[in-house]
Structure 1
Amino acid sequence: MEAAAETQRVQTLVEAGVAHLPARYVQPPELRPHLSRRRDATADCGGIPVVDLGPSGGDPVPAIGRACREWGAFQVVNHDVRPGLLEEVRAMGSSFFRAPMEAKLRFACDPRSPASEGYGSRMLAKDDGVLDWRDYFDHHALPESRRNPSQWPDFPSNYRDVVIEYSNNMKKLAQTLLCMISQSLGLPPLYIEEAVGEVYQNITISYYPPCPQPDLALGLQSHSDMGAITLLIQDDVEGLEVLKDGEWVQVQPLSDAVVVILADQTEVISNGEYKSAVHRAVVNAHHPRLSVATFYDPCKTRKIYPAMQLITKQSPLKYREVLYGDYVSSWYSKGPEGKRNIDALLINQ
Structure 2
Amino acid sequence: MPHCASFLSSMAQPNRVQTLVDSGLAVVPPQYIQAPDHRAGGLRHDAAAAPPIAVPVIDLDPQSGDPILDIRRACKDWGVFQVINHGVPISLLEEMKRVGLAFFRSPTEAKLRYACDPRFPASEGYGSKMLSKDGGVLDWRDYFDHHTLPESRCNPNRWPDYPDNYRHVVGEYSNSMKALAQKLLRMISISLGLAPSYIEDVIGEVYQNITISYYPPCPQPELALGLQTHSDIGAISLLIQDDVGGLEVLKDGEWVLVQPLSDAIIVLLSDQTEIITNGEYASAEHRALVNAKQVRLSVATFYDPSKTRVISPAAELITDRSPQKYRSVVYGDYLSSWYGKGPEGKRNLDALLIHQ
If the TM-score is normalised by the length of the shorter chain, which range does it land in? over 0.9
> Shift of the alpha carbon at 1:3?
7.4
1:334 is matched with: 341
SS of corresponding position for 1:107: coil
Instruction: Confirm or deny: 8 A CA contact 2:210 2:301 kept in the other structure.
Output: yes
2:134 is matched with: 127
2:288 is matched with: 281
> Cα deviations across residues 235-281 of structure 1 (Å, max 9, x unaligned)?
11110000001111000011111000000000000000000000000
> Cα deviations across residues 193-240 of structure 1 (Å, max 9, x unaligned)?
111111000000000000000000000000000000000000111100
Distance 2:299 2:44 in 1: 27
1:137 is aligned with what amino acid?
F
Is 2:31 the partner of 1:24? Answer: yes
SS of corresponding position for 1:96: helix
Is 2:150 the partner of 1:140? Answer: no
2:307 is aligned with what amino acid?
K
Instruction: Confirm or deny: 8 A CA contact 1:206 1:290 kept in the other structure.
Output: yes
Is 2:196 the partner of 1:189? Answer: yes
Is 2:321 the partner of 1:319? Answer: no
Aligned pair in 2 of structure 1 residues 174, 36: CA closer, same or farther (>3 Å)? closer
> Shift of the alpha carbon at 1:56?
3.2
Which of 219, 226, 235 is 2:226 aligned to? 219
Instruction: Confirm or deny: 8 A CA contact 2:268 2:284 kept in the other structure.
Output: yes
> Shift of the alpha carbon at 1:129?
0.9
2:166 is matched with: 159
TM normalised by structure 1 equals 0.97
> Shift of the alpha carbon at 1:35?
3.9
Distance 2:119 2:108 in 1: 20
* Cα RMSD (Å): 1.7
- Counterparts in 2 of 1:1-349, with a 5 A limit? 2=9, 8-35=15-42, 43-348=50-355
Aligned pair in 2 of structure 1 residues 39, 73: CA closer, same or farther (>3 Å)? farther
> Shift of the alpha carbon at 1:123?
1.7
Distance 2:201 2:165 in 1: 34
Unaligned segments of structure 2, at least 5 residues: 1-7
Instruction: Confirm or deny: 8 A CA contact 1:210 1:284 kept in the other structure.
Output: yes
> Cα deviations across residues 61-112 of structure 1 (Å, max 9, x unaligned)?
1000000000000000000012300000000000000000000000000112
Instruction: Confirm or deny: 8 A CA contact 2:72 2:192 kept in the other structure.
Output: yes
> Shift of the alpha carbon at 1:32?
0.7
2:211 is aligned with what amino acid?
T
Aligned pair in 2 of structure 1 residues 288, 263: CA closer, same or farther (>3 Å)? same
Distance 2:50 2:144 in 1: 33
2:217 is aligned with what amino acid?
P
Which stretch shows the higher mean deviation, 29-38 or 191-200?
Answer: 29-38
Aligned pair in 2 of structure 1 residues 124, 274: CA closer, same or farther (>3 Å)? same
Instruction: Confirm or deny: 8 A CA contact 1:218 1:281 kept in the other structure.
Output: yes
Instruction: Confirm or deny: 8 A CA contact 1:203 1:293 kept in the other structure.
Output: yes
Unaligned segments of structure 1, at least 5 residues: none
SS of corresponding position for 2:144: strand
Instruction: Confirm or deny: 8 A CA contact 1:199 1:298 kept in the other structure.
Output: yes
2:350 is aligned with what amino acid?
D
SS of corresponding position for 1:238: coil
Instruction: Confirm or deny: 8 A CA contact 1:42 1:248 kept in the other structure.
Output: no
TM normalised by structure 2 equals 0.95
Distance 1:34 1:237 in 2: 16
Instruction: Confirm or deny: 8 A CA contact 1:42 1:249 kept in the other structure.
Output: no
